[in-house]
């Protein structure tokens, strides 16, 4: 039997982008500006979709891992910014459980509220806090199919002990979709929106 592997990579520009930032980022707003910057750079470099995310240590603001949407560039529908950031954080920390008691509490900061897939991954990853910028409705208005989510998705996470904060730098986060459209970005699952 042939051995197969799945390799998901970040674009080459991301390391230099990170080194140009000043860390730690100690507020929700500064962390959101960072992930919005990732999304905008991803558009500018034509290396993926209009979404950025990062995993931070909640208390210190230390960056654990950053991610950008790579669906089209990698030909992989699971390569969402949140999934990339979660997976890279797990690899870096050497555990599938980011909520392990021997680790500092970590949070996911994402430029847009999570889609159905990313929503499902959040509790399994051990993340204790989620901070969102643009609304689900902003992504849908841009043509993206965000999947079927419960209307009370925030409450469902909160019931699992995960704090949810939405609307951080929301206007600027939503403007990322305008930049993506103006750059001729591909709405990679737009045909599905008619069926959702």
**Up-side HSE of residue 36: CA atoms within 13 Å toward CB?**
23
**8 Å CB contact between 31 and 65:** no
182 is catalytic: no
| Helices 116-125 and 81-93, packing angle to 10 deg | 20
Report yes or no: 126 and 173 within 8 Å, Cβ to Cβ: no
Which residue in the list 41, 82, 113, 146 is annotated as catalytic?
82
Helix axis angle for 28-44 and 81-93, nearest 10°, is 110
Hey, which residues are catalytic here? 82
């Amino acid at each position: 039997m042939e051995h197969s592997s799945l390799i998901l990579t970040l674009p080459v520009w991301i390391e230099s982008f990170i080194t140009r930032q000043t860390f730690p980022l100690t507020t929700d707003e500064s962390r959101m500006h960072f992930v919005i910057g990732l999304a905008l750079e991803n558009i500018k470099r034509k290396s993926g979709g209009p979404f950025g995310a990062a995993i931070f240590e909640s208390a210190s603001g230390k960056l654990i891992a950053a991610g950008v949407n790579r669906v089209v560039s990698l030909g992989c529908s699971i390569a969402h910014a949140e999934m990339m950031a979660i997976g890279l954080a797990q690899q870096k920390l050497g555990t599938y459980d980011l909520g392990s008691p021997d680790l500092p509490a970590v949070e996911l900061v994402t430029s847009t509220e999570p889609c159905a897939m990313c929503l499902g991954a959040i509790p399994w990853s051990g993340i204790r806090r989620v901070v969102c910028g643009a609304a689900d409705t902003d992504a849908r208005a841009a043509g993206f199919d965000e999947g079927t989510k419960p209307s009370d998705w925030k409450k469902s996470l909160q019931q699992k002990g995960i704090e949810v904060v939405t609307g951080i730098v929301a206007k600027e986060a939503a403007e990322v979709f305008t930049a993506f459209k103006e750059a001729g970005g591909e709405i990679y699952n737009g045909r599905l929106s008619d069926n959702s």
